[in-house]
Structure 1
């Protein structure tokens, strides 16, 4: 099996990922991942929307599994098989904000205990790291901001790589608010 990162938005499919997908006869992915890779999927390829993530471990060896962004950043990189990296939302957010990746601390709140994620992100921020927090639609940016010193900068990065991309920057004292469901939060002194 090959797990292929399709990038976090349109046009972010790497040449290596496109080659692997173009050689595939069996592809699995989310609706969004399939849409991002559509132009690379060859005619006649069997394409399936993932409906049961637990069953992915039992796919045949020749299957290609599409993962949005990079499979190793809260993606499907845990599956057995070779991983082809993709362009992640972390890379795009830090590039847009001009923050070196060496300062990053990644915290996931996606489908996890938000209070625990906020505590972990606060701790990393207090160490001088720039936190890249992977949020889900229910994540409360205001609660996160309230846990930080007022001077800490916050950026809500939405729809990264898409035409409607939006990056709103504020501080913990005046945090930006997300407008949609597909967002990450960057916090720290940057």
Structure 2
């Protein structure tokens, strides 16, 4: 099987991903992922919305599984098979901010332990490391800000990356940004003002 990253927003597919999708005879994906690539799906392809993620491991070798963002950044890349990368929210967010991400700590809080993610982020911030948090709609940005209280940091909420409503909201631990979308990630950086 192939696990294909469809990017975190429109226009963020790689040529390799487009090729794999257009040649596929069997595709599985979320509604959002399928809609993002629909124009590349050939007419003879069978397309299925994923209803049981556990059943994906039993798909035939020729199946293509669509993963939003990049399959190995909180995606479906752990299923195995051939992995075709996509443009991730990490890449898009740091590009939008114009900030290098070579030493960033990546924390996956998407559908996972939010408290543990916040603790890990605070530890990394005390070490002056930039932090990228893959959030989900319930991620408590206010609790993150509380854990970072007293540190000279900027908190960026990057939401709807690659979509028409893309927006970056910036705040501090004392005045944190508030997301107004369910699709967002957080970047926490030392406040290096000149």
Give the TM-score of the pair, scaled to structure 2: 0.95
Q: Report matched runs for 1:85-164 at 5 Å.
A: 85-148=85-148, 149-164=150-165
Q: Is 1:58 the counterpart of 2:80 in the alignment? A: no
How much has 1:97 moved relative to structure 2? 1.1
Question: Aligned partners of 1:57, 1:89: CA distance in 2, in Å?
Answer: 25
Q: What is residue 73 of structure 1 aligned with on the other side? A: 73
How much has 1:103 moved relative to structure 2? 2.3
Question: Aligned partners of 2:51, 2:104: CA distance in 1, in Å?
Answer: 32
Q: Deviations over 1:65-101 (max 9, x none)?
A: 0000100100000012000000000000001112212
Q: What is residue 13 of structure 1 aligned with on the other side? A: 13
Preserved CA contact (<8 Å) 1:151 1:173: no
Structure 1 residues 37 and 10, CA gap change in structure 2 (3 angstroms): same
Q: What is residue 168 of structure 1 aligned with on the other side? A: 169
3-state SS in 1 of match to 2:106:
strand
Question: Aligned partners of 1:10, 1:181: CA distance in 2, in Å?
Answer: 17
Q: Which moved more, 1:120-129 or 1:40-49?
A: 120-129
- Aligned residue pairs total 190
Give the TM-score of the pair, scaled to structure 1: 0.97
Q: Deviations over 1:93-128 (max 9, x none)?
A: 001112212021110111111111100011111222
Runs (4+) of structure 1 exceeding 2 A deviation are: none
Q: What is residue 182 of structure 1 aligned with on the other side? A: 183
Structure 2 regions of 5+ residues with no counterpart? none
Structure 1 regions of 5+ residues with no counterpart? none
Question: Aligned partners of 1:158, 1:76: CA distance in 2, in Å?
Answer: 21
How much has 1:186 moved relative to structure 2? 0.5
Question: Aligned partners of 2:62, 2:88: CA distance in 1, in Å?
Answer: 25
Q: Deviations over 1:140-165 (max 9, x none)?
A: 10110111134210001110000000
Superposition RMSD in Å: 1.0
